[in-house]
A and B are shown apart, each in its own frame.
Chain A
């Protein structure tokens, strides 16, 4: 459905998105999580044909985006993180307008608007002016708008941000309903738990890079278990590294002239076993401490859900 290959966007010297690759299959809900400034919006804008990538390719339904704008634009429904509405336009007319520019036929438009307003709980607001709606209602209306031409791929950039808790819950319920309808969705948030129940797969992004991605249960397990451990040895560094690399619970081993760093995803008793093994092999271990770093750090940032 959606395939992204080596996507990069530079603003001057800053790489907002750095060599990003991932895939989303039909019917999947892919959550892109990362702190503010990670590059989520930039990524989504490129997928929504609103920003030209510095390099890399995006395919939607196996169609290359940059050379088939018109075709691609009928396939996507985009909800930006920030958006505005027109003055002097009523809710129904607002949807009619976007239906009109989305190529919806006159015959169908009334029924579609009824259905969508029902979906987002705005049927009773049909005749009101759009700019008189509350923030939460506008957000729901914008979601309805993005669905009006029945797109195959929904791109939702932080749809629940800036909402009060009640409006947030309402938004989530609508998203769950969309999920049950089998829509393919990519959605972003800077709060991981917000997405973990909704999404089928998740990617965690930081500084323009995808740190990890995969099915949601796998990612959650990995995040909860992974520890970065910094080990300092007095001697026999080579041997220590060789031993560490043999360990099944260690994903990666990194060394510099002061210490060795491993990412360890086992339980605590396995950690004890690891220390024992090093000592039994005569490695002079000076220190062995889990550090706040990389994955964990990102995870902390992401889960805290700090709102600016």
Chain B
């Protein structure tokens, strides 16, 4: 049976103007990007057009992929960071809690509703990505792996949004904090890494430590970089930053995904505890 919270969330969300607006903007942004790259490739502004080359397709795939990743990472907290605090604010949460639904089902319903939204965005982006397929250079398998990676990251950032929405009373606070965390995980870890490299260089030591790499493994771009290196060749995060030379290309991806799943699970567990007013983990009744 489909989770009742998920069912209701999808129904009510599809009725707002926000969902179609979000989808339209998403498709629009991706299309603009594609058109722009094509214009570049065909060099329509100059008379010496060369036509599409495979390297253009790879470049386009690369740009689209990173762009889509960033969109997802910043859309998910927007919807999840209000999921619990929003119900508290509108005073519907108590009615949810005193039903037969377990805390876990509530959390699961809220999270999957957000994932469903992302899935929708991915599906509407398929026609655009399939253009790349038509020109060759990108296989359906590539896209499948990419989408799985996106979904796991939606799960990761969704858990963060849920966590802040459970632990902060106000939706505004929750949203701000979840975006700060998102920003830290995407840009912050990167900056810290580069900064620590500088420090290291000054001491004359050139070995990157595991701790430094760990910062990058928290960043979804490390996983994405791994995937793109495997699929279309080396791009934005230098391999030697992410892994030892002896490691397989995909090892950073596995570590990144493993971390995502572990951190998400811990966060969701904490959310389940937090929203249960009877606190089954501090149930010890006081002796009289």
B277–A88 CB distance below 8 A: no
B25 close to A (CB within 8 Å): no
Q: How far apart sit A80 and B93, CA to CA, in the bound complex (Å)?
A: 11
User: Scoring A residues 92 to 104 as 1 if CB is less than 8 Å from chain B, else 0, what string do you get?
Assistant: 0100011011110
Give the contacts of B132-179 with A (CB-CB under 8 A).
none
Q: Which residues of A contact B98 (CB under 8 A)?
A: 48-50, 73, 76, 78
Q: Once the chains bind, are A97 and B4 in contact (CB under 8 Å)?
A: yes
Q: How large is the interface on B (under 10, 10 to 19, 20 to 34, 35 or more residues)?
A: 20 to 34
A80 near B94 with CB under 8 A, answer: yes
Specify which chain A residues have a CB less than 8 angstroms from the CB of B246 in the assembled complex: none
Could you tell me if A103 and B100 are in contact, using CB atoms closer than 8 angstroms?
A: yes
In the complex, number of A-B residue pairs with CB atoms less than 8 Å apart: 83
Chain B residues positioned under 8 Å from A86 (CB to CB): 8, 12, 90, 92
**B residues near A89, Cβ cutoff 8 Å:** 8, 11-12
- Decide if A271 is an interface residue (CB 8 Å cutoff): no
The answer to whether A52 and B279 touch across the interface, beta carbons within 8 angstroms, is: yes
A52 CA to B280 CA in the complex, in Å?
10
A102 x B100 contact (CB < 8 A) = yes
The distance in angstroms between the C-alpha atoms of A88 and B16, with both chains bound, is 7
Nearest B-chain residue to A100, judged by Cβ: B4
A102 in contact with B8 (CB, 8 Å): no
Please state if B95 and A88 are interface contacts (CB–CB under 8 Å). Answer: no
CA distance A93 to B4 in the complex (A): 11
A83 and B95 within 8 A (CB): yes
Q: Taking A55-B286, A70-B102, A73-B99 as contacts, is the C-beta distance between A49 and B278 under 8 angstroms?
A: yes
Which residues in chain B, 268-288, are within 8 Å of chain A measured between CB atoms? 277-280, 283, 285-286, 288
In the assembled complex, the Cα of A55 lies from the Cα of B280 at a distance in Å of 15
CB distance from B273 to the nearest CB of A (A): 13
Cross-chain contact B277 with A97 (CB below 8 angstroms)? no
Chain B nearest Cβ from A44, distance in angstroms: 11
Interchain CB contact under 8 A, B100 and A74: yes
Q: Does B251 contact A (CB under 8 A)?
A: no
Q: Does A12 contact B (CB under 8 A)?
A: no
B97 nearest in chain A by CB position: A50
Using A52-B278, A82-B91 as known contacts, say yes or no to A97 and B100 having CB atoms under 8 A apart: no
When distances are taken between beta carbons in the complex, the residues of chain B under 8 Å from A145 are 95
User: For the complex, is B5 an interface residue (Cβ under 8 Å from A)?
Assistant: yes
Could you pull out 24 A-B pairs where Cβ atoms are within 8 angstroms?
A45-B94, A49-B97, A50-B97, A50-B98, A51-B277, A52-B277, A52-B279, A66-B278, A66-B283, A67-B283, A73-B99, A76-B98, A78-B94, A78-B98, A82-B91, A84-B92, A86-B90, A86-B92, A88-B11, A89-B11, A97-B4, A100-B4, A100-B7, A102-B99
Given contacts A70-B100, A78-B95, A87-B12, 11 further A-B contacts (CB under 8 A): A49-B278, A54-B286, A55-B286, A70-B102, A73-B98, A73-B100, A80-B95, A88-B11, A89-B12, A101-B5, A103-B100
